[in-house]
């Protein structure tokens, strides 16, 4: 066994992001993941560029390492036979076709468990298994309410800058799969795991969705402000933006002292979080005036020393550099004898002391494992 999930075989019928992200996490932890792709074109994200790394899409590379690729025509009887053979020997099936597609192909859950009774079968959909609506991240952000609380104001709905709903759903799929495997280990019984993008988003909205279902409050976009905490937004240092994320009164007192205005902490307008939320406009003007006296990096150093949560507004290159300085080892390089050059990627964030994630192979070329029938380990 190599890794915590060594010995597990995953038949990956996933495409685009949610399914492939889940199966890459399983692969990083040791599972053998065999990716089924359309002959000729493969996963949609193979063509999603720029940016390109050579002739490969950086999007595809981001979620498909440690996998094998089989090009299989699921509309062809021979292709279906190959797919069924894979399902028969797999521990896990992951698919994110429109509901009913796998059933029509004879590869649905009921078909799979006839040939593999203890299979763990994960279906990822946009809106649940009885709905034929296509599920793309931007669409779910819109209809699921995320865009209504994102952006500078209620009149400017804005999407999050990454397909976050897909990522969250992929994480939920992974948790569901691991829970089902634990149950199978204990009882020998497989089961179906179902996750969908809309339900995953509503759960991930946490305090915002709770505001409505528990208190009847419909949240709206507030720019970079928080509906329940202050100061918790973006301010202006002398050179660039700076974020303050002050979560309690102690932190606010430390902030007030560090910027040379200790009396703010006992001012009745600002002495409690509730008061600060009610007077956020006045507080914002005072803090912006004070923070304009120095650079974002200097404030980051000074305020962090006082345990005040803050930081400059980084680009992604700055964010990677910060993680490196903190010793988080955010970047890994995969040397793969099937490639002319190493592939550089973001590391798996899960740290296991005994069975850490491994990086055994770069994302596969389309169909590169066809001749080996998915047997490369």
Active site residues: 166
Q: What is the C-alpha to C-alpha distance for residues 321 and 377, in angstroms, rounded to an integer?
A: 34
309-310-311-312 Cα dihedral, nearest 10 degrees: 170
* Residue 263 CB contacts under 8 Å (≥ 6 apart), including other chains: 256
**Distance of alpha carbon 63 from the chain centroid:** 10
Contact (CB, 8 A) for 69 and 101: no
320: exposed, middle or buried (C-beta count within 10 Å: 0-12, 13-18, 19+)?
middle
Neighbours of 354 (CB within 10 A): 5
Q: What is the C-alpha to C-alpha distance for residues 120 and 185, in angstroms, rounded to an integer?
A: 11
Token pair of 257, please? Answer: 């002292």
* Residue 75 CB contacts under 8 Å (≥ 6 apart), including other chains: none
* Residue 59 CB contacts under 8 Å (≥ 6 apart), including other chains: 45, 48, 49
Contact (CB, 8 A) for 209 and 202: yes
Beta strands in the chain, from DSSP E residues, in sequence order? 9-13, 32-37, 52-53, 56-57, 67-71, 92-95, 120-125, 191-196, 232-236, 241-245, 310-312, 331-334, 343-346
* Residue 199 CB contacts under 8 Å (≥ 6 apart), including other chains: 128
């Amino acid at each position: 066994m190599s890794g915590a999930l060594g010995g597990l075989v995953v038949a990956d019928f996933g495409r685009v992001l949610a399914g492939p992200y889940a199966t890459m996490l399983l692969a990083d932890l040791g599972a053998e993941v065999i990716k089924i792709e359309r002959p000729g074109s493969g996963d949609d994200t193979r063509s999603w560029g720029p940016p390109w790394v050579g002739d490969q899409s950086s999007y595809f590379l981001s979620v498909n390492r440690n996998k094998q690729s089989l090009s299989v025509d699921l509309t062809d009887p021979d292709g279906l036979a190959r797919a069924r053979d894979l399902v028969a020997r797999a521990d896990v099936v992951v698919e994110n076709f429109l509901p009913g597609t796998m059933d029509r192909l004879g590869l649905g859950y009921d078909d799979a468990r006839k040939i593999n009774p203890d299979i763990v079968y994960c279906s990822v959909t946009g809106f649940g298994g009885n709905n034929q609506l296509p599920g793309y991240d931007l669409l779910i952000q819109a209809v699921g309410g995320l865009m209504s609380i994102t952006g500078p104001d209620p009149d400017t709905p804005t999407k999050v800058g990454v397909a976050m709903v897909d990522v969250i759903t992929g994480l939920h799929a992974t948790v569901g799969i691991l829970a089902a495997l634990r149950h199978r280990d204990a009882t020998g019984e497989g089961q179906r795991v179902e996750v969908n993008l809309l339900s995953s988003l509503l759960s991930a909205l946490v305090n915002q969705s709770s505001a409505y279902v528990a208190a009847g409050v419909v949240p709206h976009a507030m720019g970079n402000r928080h509906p329940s905490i202050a100061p918790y937004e973006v301010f202006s240092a002398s050179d660039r933006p700076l974020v303050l994320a002050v979560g309690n009164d102690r932190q606010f007192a430390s902030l007030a002292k560090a910027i040379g205005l200790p009396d703010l902490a006992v001012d009745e307008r600002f002495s409690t979080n509730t008061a600060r939320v009610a007077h956020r406009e006045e507080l914002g003007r005072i803090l912006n005036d004070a923070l304009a006296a120095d650079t974002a990096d200097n404030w980051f150093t000074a305020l962090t020393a006082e345990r005040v949560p803050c930081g400059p507004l980084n680009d992604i290159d700055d964010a990677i550099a910060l993680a490196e300085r903190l010793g988080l080892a955010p970047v890994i390089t995969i040397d793969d004898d099937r490639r002319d050059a190493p592939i550089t990627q973001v590391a798996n964030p899960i740290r296991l002391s005994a069975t850490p994630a491994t990086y055994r192979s770069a994302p596969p070329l389309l169909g590169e494992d066809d001749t080996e029938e998915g047997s490369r380990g």
